[in-house]
Structures are given as C-alpha cells and as structure tokens.
Structure 1
C-alpha cells in the first residue's frame, strides 16, 4: 500500500514516540573502539585490495558476528566486487602548443590526470582543445553546452559545478546554490565520453569544487580503482584530469582568450563552446592489476516479511597511503568513514538487542566509495536482496564528533517521503530540521545512498547541521571549515580521544528510529512526485 503524506506523518509521529521509548542505548564504547581501531596505522588507511582491506574485512565480520548479525549473502559475510587497479606511470607534462607561448604543466603540482581505460599506454597527441563551459547536456532543462559541436578526438576543458552555483538562493536553472548531478566531476567525464572526447580536463576552483587542490592531488595521486567490466572501458575518454585555475588562466591567455569573460558567458543559457586554437598532448604508462574487493553484508532476519529489506549502509574504505604531511603518508580516514562504519556496527548491536522486526534489516559496509561509489554501485546493480523488495534505509558517511547540534539537515532535501518520516524523530531529540549550509558541495551525489537512489531505492542522507548547542552556528561553521581545510582526505584525519560524541549519538538515535519504523511497518515510502528517481521506483514496485 502507499501512504498519503498526511497519513504517513501521523503514523510516523506515533511510531517515532514508540521507537524512542523502546530504543536500546547506542554504545558509545562501540563507536570509540571501532573508529579508533579502523583508523589506526595498522589498517594502513583501508585502501581496497591492500593488506589494510584484509584487516578491515576480518574486523568487521568479527564485530558483526558479535553484534548478533547473520551472514547476509547466502550464508557468506562478503560480496566480491571485481575491480581493476589503474596506476599512472612515468607521466609526461600536460603540454599545450599552438598558442602565443607554450604551456607545460607539471604532473601533481599543476595538473593531475589518469584514465578509465584498461590499456597499457595512453598517448594523447596534438588533440584540439575546446572550452565547453560547464560541459552539461541537459535536454529537460533546455541546456546543451555541446550543441552543434563535434568533439570526437578533441580535448574538452570544463568548469566544475553548475552554471548557477554563485546564486545564493535555491532558484535557478540548476537549483541555484544547490549542486545537481550535472555539477559533479563524475558527470563531466561521463558526458565528455558520450560526446566522443579524447581528453576531458576540469578546471579546479576551490569554492565550487568544495575542496582545495591538495584534495585533488591526494585523491588522484595514487592508483585508481574501477569496476572491472567487459570492454575494458574503451568507450571512455583516453585522458581525464584536472588543472589548477592559474594554469587554466595561462592556457587561455596563450590562446588569446579572455578567461573571465568566457567563464561569465558559460553561466548563461545559449553559451556556445569555444575552440581555443591550441593542441593538448600528454602520455603515460598504465599499470593494470585485476583483483576483487569486498562488501560486507550482515542481516537481522525479519519475522513476518523476511523478504522485505531495510538497509543501513556505510563505506569502510579510505585512501590508503597518500601524499605525506610531516612524514606521515597514511590517510587514516577516522571521520571519513571509520565513524560511519562504527555507527553501522553500533546500530546493528542496538537492533539486535531490541529483537527481530517484521522485515529484515541488512547492514552493508561497502568498498571503494572513495574511488567513485564503486562498492555500492556494484551492490545496487547486483543486489543480494532485490531492490524492488528494499523498502528504504539510511546511509552514514562521517559522524558528528564536535558536539550535539540543534539542527538536523536533510542533505538534498525535497526528494523522498523518508524526510516526512524522520521529522518526528528529530523533534523527539529536541532538534529541528535545518537547511543545508553548503548545498553547492553537491553532497547528495557524493556518497553511497546515491547508488541506490539512481535505481529507485529511497535512502535517507541526513546529518547534524552547523548550529551547535555549544557555540551555535559560528562554532559549527568553524569546525566544518577546519575539517575540510586541515583533515579531509589528508593524513591528519586521525582519531582523537577528546572528540565529543554527543552529536553522533543523537543522529544515530534518529537513524535507529527510522530504521525500526520501516522494519516494523508495512508501508513503502516513495520519492516525491517531482523527484528524478520516482518513475524508477514506481516501475520496480509495479512488478511486485
């Protein structure tokens, strides 16, 4: 049956109160222990397919068993995820010729590049360069930066984010300040490949990218993992990468183009791509290593409807070894995402203590999120439990370790009925629904819930806002900025015994209540009518 929003809200209010009353305590000791263990140097940054993965998988199986879960994949704890590791070897500089002066960019400090193709050598030679603005083809929005353009064999230079990212409201052709999927770097490369581009280069700009060049350099500096699929990704561009904004300005100057004027023009509908009159060249070897990583799957079987599933997810992986800072080259990923994985274990413990529910609850620790949501994408495309039978769930990616917040933010708000269901649970915590402070970051498209959303499954992605009980919005914004600038995807993201877990515990009680409500209920929360995933869900459910 489908609930109307009013009925759903009324039932949610009652169920929320019951869930809060009956909820076992979330174990603070579990949160601390699991986070500290997974983010220790012994786990070497938890990069998939390394010795750090082996330790992580063994530890998670141990914790899932201890929590009271059963193996969730046909009697097995893991789901193999086939991967291919591609490493850039002996990269040349990224050279642009044919302009007023040659522009040659050093790998790492000025440019980073790689490939999706599984081939031993990439040699991009004298490829004509075209500036394609934001590189978006969105027919439903009447926007096509590739209109009338043939870029086969050419290299496209692309701006990050959406054309209206500088709008401070949520009004605009691409949601104003809120990033759409068209703004994500992954989309930029996907569309460039569909257009036949040989090279696709994104211009880095810290504010619309939502992170500094150091994050790009550390994330792209080592081997990259991709799904190992038939065809070896030959349909993708030869070269994908980023260049520093100052390098882009030098390139445009060499081409005799006004960088600022073209960036401004790209913000407006009807923008026409501009050939720069220069050619790009770069070459590098590609180390190829095929192997498998693992998703960890645990289940609490349901009593009345065991074939219907409520899903909790978090990614266990991080970057492994990365660019050293003060001699430390291990990106430990304590907040991102040892905390979320610890939350997954703590929720499993709490639900097991509360006893079985009508529906089954699945606890999924996925691999290779940092490589592009690969583990969750693989599960969504090869589900252990059919997605049409997956009611919905919660994804956790980085818990709040700076203190309880007054607000709870629905990331990418306005998408599904889960948002209505969670409101009474937030109120029961003495909190309010807050507004996403940095919608330009496109956070909704940057974690594993998106893999399920794309295939129709509603997943809540909500978290503490910046309005802290102690210190208010100023303190929250300062803490968020400090983490992004000083620790995110860097060796400094390490466990701190002085963290304040009050906010994490509050968020986890909300996740617990929503999961329990879904698991004890019989409804099928849907996407709102104007959400991009609604038709996929309706089609899947119609076949049941």
Structure 2
C-alpha cells in the first residue's frame, strides 16, 4: 500500500490558507478535509512509521513546523526556531546473556533473560554483577500523606528487594499507579542494590508473560539531561528483574508466606506486609549506550492581554510512532494514522482555528512531542526544560489517539477530576451536545501513562482527552485494540470518520479558548492527592459536590 504523499502535501498546504493577521469569526474555522490531509501525510509509507530518531520522524517534525509557519504562529523552540532538540540514550544488551540466579534452601537455579525472567542492566552502561540476600517489601511504597510505609521494620540496605509490580487493589488506582512508578526510586532510597519484581494477578491478566518476553531483548531508551548524563529511572540500582511464576515461587521458598498467599492478599484488597526471605539472588547484565537526538516541535500563538499573555495553555500530542519492522513479512510499516496522526491533526486544526479567530488573552503553546512510544520521553524532557517559564504554564491538554471510527457523543478527560480543567470540558461539551464521562477503565491508570503526566509532575494541571465509550464507542475501541493498535493496519484504510475528527478538534478549541480567556488560572482542587504532592503551595479550588 502506498499513500498519495504528495497529494496529501498539496491538499494540506492549499487548505491551510494564506498567512497573516488573526481575524474574528464566530464559528471556529475547523475543516474535516484539512484534518484528513494532515493524517494522510503523516501516515504515508514514505515516512516509514515516524519512529523516534529516524528520517521519517524528522520529516514529520518539519511538516508540522511548516504548518505552524504557514498559519502565522511564532517559533517556540530553541534559539528562536521551531524545534527543541531532545537528547536520548538507547540502552542495549551487550556481551553474555543477562542471568538471574536464585539460591533457595533446596538449591540454586539459573534463569536467562527472555525465558522466565526479564533482566535489565545499568541504564548508564557497563557491567552489573550483584549478589545479595533478599527481602520482600510488599509493594515497596512509602507515602506519608496516605500513611503508607511498606519498608517499616525491614532492612533493605545492601539487599535485593522483591516487590509486587502493579497498582494495589486496596488503593485508589491513580495514586497507586504513581507510587508504582516510584518503586525503584524508593528501593534505592532504602539502600537496596537490586530489585526483583513479581507481578500481581491483575497485572498478569492485563499483560501475558509472552508479551513480556517480547521485550526482553529490546533496547530501552531514556532521555538525556543537559549535562549529558542519561536520566536513570532506576536511581542507581544497576540490575533489576521481572519474573514469572516459577522463579517467583522459588524466591519465597521456606518463607513465612508463599508468593501465592501474598498475591491472594492483594486480590482480597488487603495490603501484604513485608518480611525477610530465605533466598539469595545474583543478577548479571551488561549494557551499552547509544546517544542521539530527536526534536520536539513548538509553536506559539501569542495572547492579546498585556497582563495575561505571558501565561500559557499547552496543547500537546506525540508525532512519533513505531517505525518499520524489517523482518516482518508483508506490510511492515507502522503508519500510526490514529496513533497519533489524528492527535497531531487535531493540534494543527485547533491552532488554525485560533489564527482565524480573535486572539486569546493568554498565549497558547502548541507542542508536538517526540519519543512518546519510547516511554513519554519528549514530554519528560520538555517538562524538565520548558521553553517558557514553567510557572507561567497554567494548564496542559494531551491529544493522543482519538477514536474516530464512530460518531462520538461523549469524551473522557483523563485526570479532569483533579482540577478545574474538568469543568472546562463539561462547559465546552454542553455547547456541542457532548457529555464528559468518568474514566471507563481506571485499572489501566491512563492518567499516569500519557504525555500530559510530565506536566502534572511539574505541578501543572493537565489531562489527556479521548473520545468516550457511548454510542458505539466501546465496540469501536475494543475492535481497534484487538486488530489495529500498534499494528501496520493503523493506516488510511481504516474507516475513519473525518467529520468526527473536526468535532474532536472543535471541543479542544472551545476548551483551550475558555482556559486562555478566563480571568482566573486553572486550579488544583483542595486536598487532591496530585495537587498537594506536586503543587503544594499553589492556590486551590473547592471541588464541586
């Protein structure tokens, strides 16, 4: 299949209209035809799946920057340009296959990477050779606000800690998912020298061991700090492993509780307590590091209010996808039409509408992220090194993979119930006959697994917006995840309803307009977990009852 790339380029440029000053219109100028043209370009085979660090993604970035320029946006990147160069580091396995040796009362057993264990070496490169006694630390979480300390009474210093991987069923899902992301940091803070993860039963159900094995030999990627040092999500712990049931059972051999018993406690919504184990672990792994760069694309729509134009509403979406799988027979290009060509098309249409209407009071920052598929890395880099003062960013909206194969009648603002952002979506939706539904799958913890969460961690109220499950949405989402998600079939042959893309862009425009023109900034709700954690001193609003 070969999409008509140059026809798409021509259509997108012709439909973009002339550059020039902003003018007033009553209805936002949003076009289903332009929306389709943008997706057609971004999902063309010639862009080869837009993988981060490849020519295809670089072409996509230049296309987005050119569209910004055509619309009359101002560059918002580095050195007066459209781009922000994101440093990345790819960590690959080198040398002998990584191994995990568990020495239990009954004897020692060795597990190789990709079998019943997934073993990771140091993210900064080099060799890891760790041997230590083990201690089970439950979920390995510590949080004073929630009254949680899974390390209480346990000695983890110099040991390999065994941690349950997955959000505890006894906790609210989003705060639980956040603390899952902090497990390695917390282990390092308690002096651990290695980590072995055993997956909870819900985590096993959500992702098969076969799917885990598929990642065993894949390179990992992290973002590189401005001092040239790769960000270490393991916080100095040089070796970790995730294990299947057999090695998990062996780790607990002779202990006061078996693995099955502690997993059953979580299923019963009872928090397992930690205890010393009677096993010793050896982890060996070697890694190498390859550094490269990939661009964020950033445009600015300058506000009109002298007092508010130095504040920014951020709209973002990722432009990268999964690239090409050379050894796959048949169609091996992951075009990413919905994921996330449609999100970028939404960004471009919202930006276009603002250039044809009255200038907003606050400024807008339009950001096309890179390396989302590598682990939300472009957004993390931008949040750490924003091109405008971080305290001037009042809100963020992430647009990722809107489902446009049905006529949506509701949307979900993931994270909207943590701040006044949710009210803005309800207000905008009411004008279009679109309702705002609660999170339909809280067990998936989408709030902490999308690009906007990097802004949340910087103290900025932010959401990820998606079309909802009503009016055929559930069936459309289910079919897409079964057949097309992260598959070559996510391409222009899908029965995408372009008019729905225009409607999705419109609701985002209305929300952005409301946020940009409001007298008051978006505020976290009082006593909200994330607002108190990441923006303790910020002004808060009372949550509606």
Corresponding residue for 1:35? 39
Corresponding residue for 2:523? 526
Corresponding residue for 1:223? 219
C-alpha spacing 1:258/1:445, structure 2 compared with 1 (3 Å): same
Corresponding residue for 2:384? 381
C-alpha spacing 1:466/1:297, structure 2 compared with 1 (3 Å): same
Q: Deviations over 1:294-341 (max 9, x none)?
A: 211011122224312121111222344569665665544433322212
Q: Return the alpha-carbon distance in structure 2 between the equivalents of residues 224 and 330 of structure 1.
A: 21
C-alpha spacing 1:53/1:462, structure 2 compared with 1 (3 Å): closer
Q: Return the alpha-carbon distance in structure 1 between the equivalents of residues 448 and 157 of structure 2.
A: 28
In terms of mean alpha carbon deviation, does 91-100 or 304-313 score higher?
91-100
Corresponding residue for 2:240? 240
Per-residue deviation, 1:216: 4.1
Answer yes or no: is 1:69 the counterpart of 2:73: yes
Is the CA contact (8 Å cut-off) linking 1:136 and 1:191 kept in structure 2?
A: yes
Q: Return the alpha-carbon distance in structure 2 between the equivalents of residues 255 and 30 of structure 1.
A: 63
Tell me the secondary structure at the aligned position of residue 337 of structure 1: helix
Note the aligned Cα RMSD (angstroms).
Answer: 3.2
Q: What are the equivalent positions in structure 2 for 1:296-307 lying under 5 Å apart? A: 296-305=297-306, 306-307=309-310
Unaligned runs of at least 5 residues, structure 1 = 1-20, 165-171
Corresponding residue for 2:143? 138
Answer yes or no: is 1:155 the counterpart of 2:169: no
Tell me the secondary structure at the aligned position of residue 26 of structure 1: coil
Unaligned runs of at least 5 residues, structure 2 = 1-24, 541-545
Q: Deviations over 1:476-508 (max 9, x none)?
A: 334333433444445554443422345443332
Corresponding residue for 1:88? 93
Is the CA contact (8 Å cut-off) linking 1:64 and 1:298 kept in structure 2?
A: yes
Per-residue deviation, 1:188: 2.4
Tell me the secondary structure at the aligned position of residue 140 of structure 1: coil
In terms of mean alpha carbon deviation, does 240-249 or 521-530 score higher?
240-249
Paired residue for 1:479, among 476, 479, 486? 476
Corresponding residue for 1:119? 125
Q: Deviations over 1:62-97 (max 9, x none)?
A: 232233322113521011222222112243343323
Q: What are the equivalent positions in structure 2 for 1:15-26 lying under 5 Å apart? A: 22-26=26-30
Q: Return the alpha-carbon distance in structure 1 between the equivalents of residues 425 and 362 of structure 2.
A: 19
Corresponding residue for 1:424? 427
Structure showing greater relative contact order (alpha-carbon pairs closer than 8 Å, 6 or more residues apart): 1
Q: What are the equivalent positions in structure 2 for 1:41-60 lying under 5 Å apart? A: 41-60=45-64
Paired residue for 1:202, among 197, 201, 204? 197
Per-residue deviation, 1:215: 5.1
Q: Return the alpha-carbon distance in structure 1 between the equivalents of residues 120 and 189 of structure 2.
A: 18
C-alpha spacing 1:94/1:56, structure 2 compared with 1 (3 Å): farther
Q: Deviations over 1:338-368 (max 9, x none)?
A: 2212221222222222243222211011222
Answer yes or no: is 1:406 the counterpart of 2:412: no
So what's the TM-score if we normalise by structure 1? 0.83
In terms of mean alpha carbon deviation, does 228-237 or 293-302 score higher?
228-237
Corresponding residue for 1:514? 511
Q: Return the alpha-carbon distance in structure 1 between the equivalents of residues 162 and 31 of structure 2.
A: 49
Answer yes or no: is 1:262 the counterpart of 2:262: yes
Q: What are the equivalent positions in structure 2 for 1:357-372 lying under 5 Å apart? A: 357-372=360-375
Answer yes or no: is 1:191 the counterpart of 2:186: yes
Q: Return the alpha-carbon distance in structure 1 between the equivalents of residues 476 and 213 of structure 2.
A: 23
Tell me the secondary structure at the aligned position of residue 174 of structure 2: coil
Q: Return the alpha-carbon distance in structure 2 between the equivalents of residues 290 and 365 of structure 1.
A: 21
Per-residue deviation, 1:55: 2.2
C-alpha spacing 1:353/1:277, structure 2 compared with 1 (3 Å): same
Tell me the secondary structure at the aligned position of residue 417 of structure 2: coil
Q: Return the alpha-carbon distance in structure 2 between the equivalents of residues 341 and 313 of structure 1.
A: 8
Per-residue deviation, 1:269: 6.3
